[in-house]
Amino acid sequence: MEDWRDVPVFGVRIETQHYTVRPSVYGVIEDGHGQIAVVRTPQGFTLPGGGIEEGETTAQAAVREALEECGLAVRVGSWEIRAVQFIYSESERTHFEKWSIFVDATVEAVAGPGTEADHELVWMPPEAASEVLLAESHRWAVRSRPAAAVGRRR
């Protein structure tokens, strides 16, 4: 596994709590008109993505998550940044140390609605997305993306 010691860290680690490390990937997906794909869940707004499953590459996980959550078939680009986010999941009643990789992705096709009923795809300007996203690391990723890397057709 890569060295995660020098990446930005968001949230606060509570020393008295046990944290589960969760490798995750999130797509910064632009629609070609300057809008960012954001997922509305019962907990709030997030970038499309989530946990990387056993045996899955970062790109495979990003493609799977975009399809499941948004119904988007995407191709992962070359831009990538990493951050650690400490969070508490109310639904799982667990503290997580999320080792998050953020990638750019291009929409290849709209495959239909996502398969997660409580997830809704919302397109919004990057400035608005960076205001409403729950996780500090997600807001940072949207602000950090190079404009030339996101939404570019390959």
Quick one: which H or E segment has residue 127?
Answer: helix 126-132
Per residue in 76-90, pLDDT tens? 999 999 999 999 998
How does the average pLDDT of the chain come out, rounded? 92
Residues in the chain: 154
> How far, in Å, CA of 97 to CA of 120, rounded?
25
Top pLDDT among 16 and 117 is at 16
Q: What is the mean pLDDT of residues 110-132?
A: 91
Domains assigned to the chain:
9-144 (3.90.79.10)
Q: What is the mean pLDDT of residues 73-77?
A: 95
> How far, in Å, CA of 19 to CA of 148, rounded?
36
Q: What is the mean pLDDT of residues 32-48?
A: 94
Q: Write the CB contacts of 114 (distance below 8 Å, at least 6 apart in sequence).
A: 67, 68, 69, 70, 71, 121
- What are the distances in angstroms from CA 54 to CA 30, 60, 84, 104, 140? 28, 11, 19, 22, 27
